[in-house]
């Protein structure tokens, strides 16, 4: 899953497609096309930075960033388009514009009505684990049983989605590496993805790309210099059972994923 952030402030991007409030729609579309050519199987388009400490934007501003890009991109690429949003209003507009998946970092905790939007739009829905909001998530990063608590809270999200009409087979889960988790928690989740897969019986999405937890191992490098660390985390994720990895450097990580997947298949 290639990451395409239509924001001025996302931590992991070398290129930004919003400058002084102006959206470079064609630039974003061309970036998505290049991702497909480089080996992406999906592209995930977001209009609000959700990094720890990030300030939220309005739904109108978020829609104004992602919808023109999705509309322009639909028909240009063959791979599915996902929208990275926790807002029901934005998800509805994105699905109308051509997205077929909603990636909700809140696991329906911010706007539970998003599940009904996904159900009406016959969209796939990624439910990510987090606690609190971006500005305060580390205050809730306390676990007595890391995998058990993450699994229980994701199961609550699954139950809510199914109750709103989303078919179980349309649901994916993401343990939320880096979200309401200290570095040790993120590494713990990464190491035990297989346990989460067994507990939840849903496809797993892992998003380690360029995140700050990598600094625990590679030192205090800026996000754009964490691709080697990301490659190791992506390999670990695939070998541990991830079905989708969400990455910035698609061309490089596509090779990493294919080799790791071939290794996993051979081992089995």
Residues labelled as active-site residues: 211, 246
Angle between helices 25-38 and 250-267 (to 10 degrees): 30
Extract the tokens encoding 13: 């991007």
**First CA to last CA distance, the chain:** 24
Extract the tokens encoding 102: 């909603």
DSSP-assigned letter for residue 54? P
Q: DSSP characters for 168-196?
A: GGGEEEE--TTSS--HHHHHHHHHTHHHH
For residue 139, count CB atoms less than 10 angstroms from its CB and return exposed for 0-12, middle for 13-18, buried for 19 or more: exposed
In the beta sheet, which residues pair with residue 204? 173
**CA 242/CA 237 separation, integer angstroms:** 5
Segment (H or E) for 151: helix 146-163
For residue 214, count CB atoms less than 10 angstroms from its CB and return exposed for 0-12, middle for 13-18, buried for 19 or more: buried
Extract the tokens encoding 258: 């294919």
Contacting residues for 204 by C-beta, under 8 A, at least 6 apart: 172, 173, 174, 175, 193, 196, 197, 241, 242, 243, 244
């Amino acid at each position: 899953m290639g990451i395409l952030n239509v924001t001025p402030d996302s931590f992991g991007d070398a290129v930004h497609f919003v400058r002084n409030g102006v959206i470079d729609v064609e630039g974003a579309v061309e970036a998505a096309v290049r991702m497909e050519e480089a080996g992406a199987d999906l592209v995930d388009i977001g209009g609000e930075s959700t990094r720890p400490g990030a300030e939220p934007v309005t739904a109108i501003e978020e829609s104004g960033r992602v919808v023109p890009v999705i509309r322009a991109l639909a028909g240009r690429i063959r791979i599915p388009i996902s929208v990275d949003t926790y807002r029901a209003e934005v998800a509805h507009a994105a699905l109308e514009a051509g997205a077929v998946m909603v990636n909700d970092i809140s696991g329906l905790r911010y706007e539970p009505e998003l599940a009904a939007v996904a159900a009406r739009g016959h969209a796939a829905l990624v439910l990510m684990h987090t606690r609190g909001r971006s500005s305060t998530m580390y205050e809730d990063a306390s676990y007595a049983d890391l995998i058990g608590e993450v699994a229980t809270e994701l199961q609550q999200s699954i139950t809510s989605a199914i109750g709103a009409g989303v078919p179980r087979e349309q649901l994916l889960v993401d343990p939320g590496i880096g979200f309401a988790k200290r570095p040790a928690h993120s590494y713990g989740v990464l190491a035990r993805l297989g346990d989460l897969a067994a507990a939840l019986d849903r496809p797993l999405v892992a998003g380690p790309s360029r995140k700050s937890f990598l600094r625990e191992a590679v030192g205090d490098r800026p996000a754009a210099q964490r691709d080697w660390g990301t490659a190791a985390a992506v390999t670990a994720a695939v070998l541990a059972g991830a079905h989708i990895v969400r990455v910035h450097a698609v061309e490089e990580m596509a090779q990493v994923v294919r080799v790791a997947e071939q290794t996993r298949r051979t081992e089995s």
